[in-house]
Structure 1
Amino acid sequence: MKKMIVLVVSVLFIVVFVFNNKLFFPPLPIENVSKKEAIEKLNDSNEAIVKLSRENGYEWYITYSDQSIADDNIKEMLSQNSWMFKQKDGSGLFFEKQGEHLIATTQMWTGDYVLVKIPVTLND
């Protein structure tokens, strides 16, 4: 009986640990942010799109998964930096500003979240 209680408590502890740390989510393509931190940043923010990290010449953002909402969030954020939306092709959103081009790419991370990768030129 004692072994059964220890086993049940151990399994319960593992389940809580996995769920709490979002270990069941797919890996992030960025290194500086954990899955749990990424979700908490978005959920704790009043913004619809939140910056996660700056790595290898790109800025990474997270937003909610409804694709049309995600696209609108990206368009709004970039328009605040004077980038004009031109077209969408697959997972890429194409923008232009003063003859320069910028491509923001999206990727579905989970059923609830979309990751956005934008070249660092965003703020230039």
Structure 2
Amino acid sequence: MKSVNDLARNEGARAASVACLLPARNGGSLRLLAGGPALPFSGSSASEVKTLLNGYDGKLIKLATVEGVDWYGAPSGQGAGAEAMKREVAAAGWRFVQQEGSGYFFVRGAEKIVITSEMWTGRYVLFRIPANTL
């Protein structure tokens, strides 16, 4: 049986079915969508987001605003996305304090924000930024 990692590496070779269920260690099942991993926000399709992210020019790309959160993305290679995010947040007046795991901590006067990141499809990093920060 192929691992989830093997299946993810072969993303270009789409399965004929819409989804498959794989056994998980906890006794449940893991749902793997044929189009790749699900987006962490609603309102856009994976193909729309990939098209937007493929237009990356060194600046973060705004993908959606959902429930008080702006979602931005960038390619994941060599930490360029994280550096672009820190640069753009600093340009908006925020000072980078530290990173803890996927969380980036910023301050501006007495205000504090935490921006979190997550890998999506292994090729892109998505940033969850409080709305109207940038």
Q: Same fold (TM over 0.5)?
A: yes
How far the C-alpha of 1:56 sits from its partner, in A, is 0.9
The answer to whether residue 80 in structure 2 is matched with residue 69 in structure 1 is yes
TM-score (norm 1): 0.75
**Structure ranking higher in helix proportion:** 1
Q: Which moved more, 1:95-104 or 1:39-48?
A: 39-48
The 3-state SS of whatever aligns with 1:27 is coil
Aligned AA for 1:115? L
Q: Choose the corresponding residue for 2:66, options 55, 58, 63.
A: 55
CA–CA distance in structure 1, aligned partners of residues 51 and 105 of structure 2: 29
- Counterpart amino acid of residue 81 in structure 1: A
The residue correspondences of 1:5-84 to structure 2 (distance < 5 A) are 23-66=34-77, 68-84=79-95
Q: CA deviation at 1:24?
A: 2.7
Note the alpha carbon deviations across 1:21-46, whole angstroms, 9 max, x for none: x9431000111111111111121343
* Equivalent pair of 1:23/1:35 in contact (CA under 8 Å): no
Kept in 2, the 8 Å contact 1:42–1:48? The answer is: no
Query: Percent identity at matched positions?
Result: 33
Corresponding residue number in structure 2 for 1:105: 116
Larger fraction in strand: 2
Amino acid at match of 2:106: F
Which residues of structure 1 form unaligned runs of 5+? 1-13
The match for 2:106 is: 95
When the two chains are superposed, the root-mean-square deviation of aligned CA atoms in Å is 2.2
Cα distance in 1 between the residues matched to 2:34 and 2:48 = 12
Query: 1:53-96 deviations in whole A, cap 9, x for unaligned?
Result: 00011000111113622220110110110111000001000001
Count of aligned positions: 106
CA 1:57/1:67 → structure 2, altered by over 3 Å: closer, same or farther?
farther
Give the SS at the match of 2:133: helix
TM-score, structure 2 length as denominator?
Answer: 0.70
Aligned residue type for 1:62: G
- For residues 67 and 104 of structure 1, the distance between their equivalents in structure 2, rounded to whole angstroms, comes to 19
